Chain A
């Protein structure tokens, strides 16, 4: 059950308690809720009740603070508050889902997945937040788990938008975009106020290159929920594809103003700034992104590529060497090393051919790695 809906429940209980004129915990709770200054005479409230009420209020305050932090995308803070809850409250679907969502917003998908799968274990009937779980699995490309989740949820409740979003994500991962579009449309049909379904539909339309319809979807999502930053990001992405970099930057920045801690968004802004020939601003933005999330390999990669474009070969190479430690299996990194190395070495060592050959062979072995993953034919062209 969602947190805010708990309060009316309690209220009705309190009323019945009042009418029966028995003084119990519920009644004192009701009084506390109505009058937070606690100015009532102490004689009416026995100390043990007061202590109990205080602890409940403290608990609710923590819930509220955690939820507020998450809604303002202070994800680390939200995680800290919610994980410090006592175990009997921590191990509930609501809390774990929200911690999962916080990790999701931080792009720590493996952590998010761990929490969501725990939610599935303890509250398999829960649908709220499962759309986020499905997107987590989409990012991690875990198609088996995603398809199991989709089956479970659509079997359980065909009238909730979350189930259809999960099904759509499942088909999107299989690259069956037409079917995914149908499912996201169904999600909107069962609940036209579900902003995330519009966004997901928009992303599908981008993938099938129907950009006009995608624009409409993202705008609908913003109409439903103007703090839904994913839709602002989607709009920025479309303008980037259309090479309207100014508009793209505006929309990405709007998204960033909602979620200022997102390293992925900052990375995108950096790339757009580079496309607008504002390389210094781009590097600054990327530095900020790396400051927020030092583990984000794409930020480092783009920083290296911008350094490379600005003829700072040595710095670019150093960046790529660090990146190699983080993602040793990514062929793209070796590809860029291969592009940077000859430019870096050629002006310096006209004589020492051996060194050049050594470097080149390492990068060509990288390219053969890339080749084995059937990406080289494309990369050589670009």
Chain B
């Protein structure tokens, strides 16, 4: 039942990883949640399994905090949500905030979703300069759910940083194997 206003799912982030232009850095961060039902917490949010999920257990807004040890360049967030299985638990309005710590977070994105079922890509490029932002902390806030649901489900969250060229010199990525194999010694 495809309605025109439905949020279309984005590509599987695994495919993006394979292109070598981005790298997942969620594992380097410290994750915390505003609330969770026991057994439905960070582990389920980060276990690479779309069957398991985080379920909040408290008052809105539901927050996911991602704190890095050092200032980290972040290009994109990917969130998996599935309206078909989560129904009123599916988030409909999400805000993304960045800052140095909990006290100086600033909202940089707010998006509304309609019955999402799949990966949602949230670009964190600076809208003026088109550069990836660099930050100590990211907070994802679920402001509202579908059908006025109270608690929320999120199945996966991935954080991507742009990959720096491993070769020498200030040039963009080369594209042929003939060229690439001389790039490095291994």
Contacts and interface: CB of A to CB of B under 8 A. Distances in A.
Interface of A: 107, 109, 135, 138-141, 174-178, 199-200, 203, 206-209, 230, 233, 237, 240-241, 262-265, 267-268, 271-272, 296-299, 301-302, 305, 326-327, 329-332, 335, 370, 373-375, 378-379, 381-382
A332 B171 contact: yes
Interface string B160-186: 000110101111111111111111111
B17 interface: yes
A296 B172 contact: no
Contact of A382 (B130, B164, B170): B170
Contact of B174 (A272, A296, A332): A332
B181 A139 contact: yes
Contacts of B150: none
B175 A178 contact: no
B175 A175 contact: no
A330 B175 contact: yes
Contacts of B163: 207
B183 to A, nearest CB: 7
Contact of B185 (A207, A262, A330, A335): A262
Interface residues of B, number: 30
Interface of B: 17-21, 23, 27, 130, 163-164, 166, 168-186
B23 A177 contact: yes
B171 A373 contact: no
B20 to A, nearest CB: 5
Contacts of A374: 19, 21
Contacts of A335: 172
A203 B186 contact: yes
A141 B186 contact: no
B182 A305 contact: no
30 contacts: A135-B186, A139-B181, A139-B186, A140-B177, A174-B18, A199-B186, A207-B23, A207-B163, A208-B23, A230-B185, A264-B184, A264-B185, A271-B168, A297-B178, A297-B179, A297-B182, A298-B182, A298-B183, A299-B182, A301-B179, A302-B169, A327-B178, A329-B176, A331-B175, A374-B21, A378-B172, A379-B171, A379-B172, A382-B170, A382-B171
Nearest to A381: B130
Contacts of B181: 107, 109, 139-140
A126 B27 CA distance: 37
Contacts of B182: 107, 263-264, 267, 296-299
Contact of B164 (A138, A175, A209, A301): A209
Given A267-B168, A326-B178, 16 more contacts: A135-B186, A139-B180, A139-B181, A175-B23, A206-B166, A209-B164, A262-B185, A265-B185, A271-B168, A298-B182, A330-B179, A332-B171, A332-B175, A374-B19, A374-B21, A375-B172
